[in-house]
Structure 1
Amino acid sequence: MNRWNADQRALREGLARWQDDLSDGHVERDEEGGFPWDKWKLIKETGILSLPFDERWGGLGQDVITTMYVLEGLGEGCRDGGLSFSVTTSICSTGVPLEQFGTDEQKSRYLPRICSGESIGAHAITEAGGGSDAMRMLTRAERDGDEYVLNGSKTFVSNGPVADVFVVYARTRPDAGALGITAFLVDRDTPGLSTGGPLKKMGLRTSPLSELFFDDCRVPAANVLGRVGGGFMVMDYVMKREILFSFIVNVGEMQHRLDRCVEYAKTRVQFGKPIGSHQSIANKIVDMKIRLETSRKWLYDTAERLMAGENVTVDLAIAKLLTSESNVESSLSAVQIFGGHGYMAEHGLEKDVRNSVAGTIYSGSTEIQYNRVAAMMGLGK
């Protein structure tokens, strides 16, 4: 069990004063499906975007676990799951790889604006024909003097319609497998880059998603992030933090949902007594508690091992699989406990179900996580 010190608690409590304003109108915003610019302005004021970055670049200099602790508070206090997802996307997709792999010039150009929220980040990995198999990417980047020329397309780009800078992964050596992939920093206004309109989706509707198209898109060689051919290393580093930061938000959401269900089960009377006194309801709530605490422990324990420099391939796969599936089960249980009220959009619980399904797909689907754990156990060879 983590024991949080006064500074860590102060950071999380400082965020709590924003939660009502961040959540206000979340059901209506979900129906509209647009990016909540007014809420993003509030996010900028909270300082949460600067948590894991060095003070040199305008960050707060917090470690992975402290950042997770505050992000868990975001999930608990903010009812707009799409907004929370856009927050972690900007932090992980762009800020995290910039600080680890960027040159001083790249960091000074981009990181202060990512930390402040003046710039929104996104990354472009997935392609229509590849899905979870990122190594099948076909987007090409060919050297031409002091520039690389990018051609191809990406899909399912979270923050795509609103991002100011993208980390784009493209093939610089067609036949070199993972060693043939390079990461590039691409500004939104780069000639040859075009962004598709927001794609309609099941959940997380306030976090816009789009396609990207590269048509002889010229990017300075100075915008290579890391080294040429080192894109897979960048991607792997990012994905570890993406799972920890994104899914700890889900833990916060599960905590809020559990608290709400406990209160409802104590006060909702059916057949002459509170519904929580019925074993079928109580058992659902206990299962919610077990899934919540198990997910929380796996994520924080994995983060501690990551910070200690240990191999966390299996730990991350289990933590991601467990948390995403638990979030779905938790949201479905909440709808069932609230009954007809849970099914109505105005209560926000059906929205939680739609949002939760996304977690079983992004950052490597449930099936991919099973495959990863099996492979590390020596199965399927």
Structure 2
Amino acid sequence: MDLTITDDMERRGAAARRFAEDHLNTGLAARDRRGTLDAAEWRTLWGAAAEYGLLRLGLDTAHGGDGTDLMTATHVVHEVGRGCRDTGMLLALNATLWTVLRPLVEFGTEAQQARYLPRLLSGEWIGADAVTELASGSDAMALQTEAVRDGDGYVLNGQKAFIGMAPCCDLALVFARTNPAVGAWGVSAFLVETSLPGVTRGPEVEKLGLRTIPTGFLSFTDVRLPASAPLGPEGAGASIFARSSEWERQMVFAGHVGAMKRQLEACVAFSQQRSVFGRPIAGHQSVSNRLADMRVRYETCHLMQRRAAWQMQTGTGDAAAAAITKLHISEALLASSLDAVRTMGGQGFLWEAEAARDLRDAVGGVLYGGTSDIQRNIIAQFLPGWAAKN
């Protein structure tokens, strides 16, 4: 397993970090405080990210990607996380890459790819992954949204909740029941253009953290879908969701690991400048030990993230590996974010302080993509086979 960061990766990562610092932090404090969508502002930021090529990372050139391998793509996203102080934007970019674009590349027809990929990759259109419902939550495939055959197409009815990008998306990957009698194996995936009659948005939700990613509900009332709308065959929704979850859980936190390094760098600098009892707080053992813990968390998460990218690149990962990656990094991110606030004290506790914003954002990491409890359940399911093999 070669986890080396090459000179080319370093070069590309440094350029991406500078781009993020210069273009993705504009108006961040105001956007975080507002917590709701400003469509024009979001489109401008999204367009800049797309123009730079952040939505093409890790996708092959035949589908409009930049042709980078996943190890390189992961390092670039890591460095974007160091430069971009907007964790909501990081989540939006990564969610689009791994839960919208990747399923379209892996499961879409040539016609679907030709229609949607150029618009999504250019930033002209914004995509959303619409799985969650109020009544299902962690039991993701226990859906009420239903798509009923009608002639060559379908009629879609239902509601999706807490969907990132819902207030501004042009295309939604919607999971719905097509054969309720067979449970999860009767779930199908559909590419739904939100301009269709019967698609409505709202309400937009205001969150504790990740306030800069527009989030809300999508409702479908007698939405007529063409025969070309299904992604993959009918009944393949559970398989597509499982595959998408592996991508999400192993890859979506790459930028957050970069953010952990940014946190640590800021805390080290602060602890050397801030003095109490006649010396910098870095000289007090309780503070230095806390910083050491942050360093250990970052290093282990960075290695784990690169291993995850290698596993996805070589096809050697599985659901347990994805769950382990997601669980460890999300919990470590939350712990280090709390340590950053403790280190900066009152200055870190102010609402608009970067440390406070990072902490609020980190809480979401133990929830989205499957809660920490769900990840532990998945890991436990694989333990007998893992123990027998090892």
Instruction: Find the counterpart in structure 2 of residue 103 from structure 1.
Output: 109
RMSD: 1.6
Consecutive unaligned residues in structure 1, runs of 5 or more:
none
SS of 1:160's equivalent in the other structure is coil
Mapped to 2, the partners of 1:290 and 1:92 lie a distance apart of: 27
2:232 to 226, 235, 241: 226
Q: AA paired with 2:34?
A: E
Instruction: Find the counterpart in structure 2 of residue 14 from structure 1.
Output: 15
2:27 to 25, 28, 35: 25
Deviation per residue, 1:103-143 (Å, 9 max, x gap) = 11100100112111111110111111110101211111111
Contact 1:91/1:121, CA 8 A, preserved across alignment: no
SS of 2:265's equivalent in the other structure is helix
Q: Quote how far apart the aligned CAs of 1:376 are.
A: 1.4
Contact 2:308/2:317, CA 8 A, preserved across alignment: no
Q: Quote how far apart the aligned CAs of 1:311 are.
A: 4.2
SS of 2:24's equivalent in the other structure is helix
Q: AA paired with 1:281?
A: V
Superposed, which structure 2 residues align to 1:283-362 within 5 Å?
A: 283-362=289-368
Is 1:163 the equivalent of 2:165?
no
SS of 1:176's equivalent in the other structure is helix
Mapped to 2, the partners of 1:311 and 1:338 lie a distance apart of: 39
Mapped to 2, the partners of 1:55 and 1:351 lie a distance apart of: 37
Contact 1:93/1:121, CA 8 A, preserved across alignment: no
TM-score by length of 1: 0.96
Q: Quote how far apart the aligned CAs of 1:268 are.
A: 1.3
Instruction: Find the counterpart in structure 1 of residue 5 from structure 2.
Output: 4
Superposed, which structure 2 residues align to 1:171-190 within 5 Å?
A: 171-190=177-196
Superposed, which structure 2 residues align to 1:1-381 within 5 Å?
A: 2-18=3-19, 19-35=21-37, 36-37=41-42, 38-378=44-384
Mapped to 2, the partners of 1:20 and 1:269 lie a distance apart of: 31
Instruction: Find the counterpart in structure 1 of residue 388 from structure 2.
Output: none
Q: Quote how far apart the aligned CAs of 1:292 are.
A: 1.1
Where does structure 1 differ by over 4 angstroms across 4 or more consecutive aligned residues? Answer: none
Mapped to 1, the partners of 2:250 and 2:168 lie a distance apart of: 24
Deviation per residue, 1:262-283 (Å, 9 max, x gap) = 1111121111111111110011
Consecutive unaligned residues in structure 2, runs of 5 or more:
386-390
Q: AA paired with 2:76?
A: V
Deviation per residue, 1:304-354 (Å, 9 max, x gap) = 223222242222111111111111111110111011101112322111111
Q: Quote how far apart the aligned CAs of 1:378 are.
A: 4.1
Contact 1:321/1:369, CA 8 A, preserved across alignment: yes
Contact 1:331/1:349, CA 8 A, preserved across alignment: yes
When structure 1 is superposed on structure 2, of 126-135 and 44-53 the one drifting more is 44-53
Deviation per residue, 1:21-69 (Å, 9 max, x gap) = 3223312210012344232232122211111222233320222222211
When structure 1 is superposed on structure 2, of 70-79 and 12-21 the one drifting more is 12-21
Contact 2:81/2:258, CA 8 A, preserved across alignment: yes
SS of 2:5's equivalent in the other structure is coil
Q: AA paired with 1:124?
A: A
Mapped to 2, the partners of 1:189 and 1:39 lie a distance apart of: 22
Q: AA paired with 1:12?
A: G
When structure 1 is superposed on structure 2, of 31-40 and 335-344 the one drifting more is 31-40
Contact 1:171/1:182, CA 8 A, preserved across alignment: yes
Q: Quote how far apart the aligned CAs of 1:6 are.
A: 3.5
